Amino acid sequence: MVLKVKYGYRKLTREEASSGLYGPIGLRITRRPECSPIMREMRDRLLRGDYDAGITEWLMADEIETPPAVASGV
């Protein structure tokens, strides 16, 4: 059972999970391909030494969607 899904992933419906289209039959989450470039940029910024606050500012400036698990604006 998947309760919370991290940014860049989404829950699969029962039909999608049983189809095997996204991986092994019964898989309940899959990657969201449109989020991959953002995740790569976040990783690159961390590896360059940017701080969490700087990455957060970049995400907010570019109006990147907030993950569902985030309760507040920042």
Residue 69 has pLDDT above 80, yes or no: no
13-52: burial string, b at 16+ Cβ within 10 Å, e else? eeeebeeeeeeeeebeebeeeebeebeeebeebeeeeeee
**The pair of three-digit structure tokens given for residue 56, joined into one six-digit string:** 């957060």
Task: Report d(CA 28, CA 48) in Å as an integer.
Answer: 34
| 9-38 confidence digits (pLDDT tens) | 899 999 999 998 888 998 899 999 999 999
Q: Please indicate, yes or no, whether the overall pTM of this predicted structure exceeds 0.75.
A: no
Give the HSE-up count for residue 66: Cα atoms under 13 Å, Cβ half-sphere: 11
> Position 13: which residue type?
T
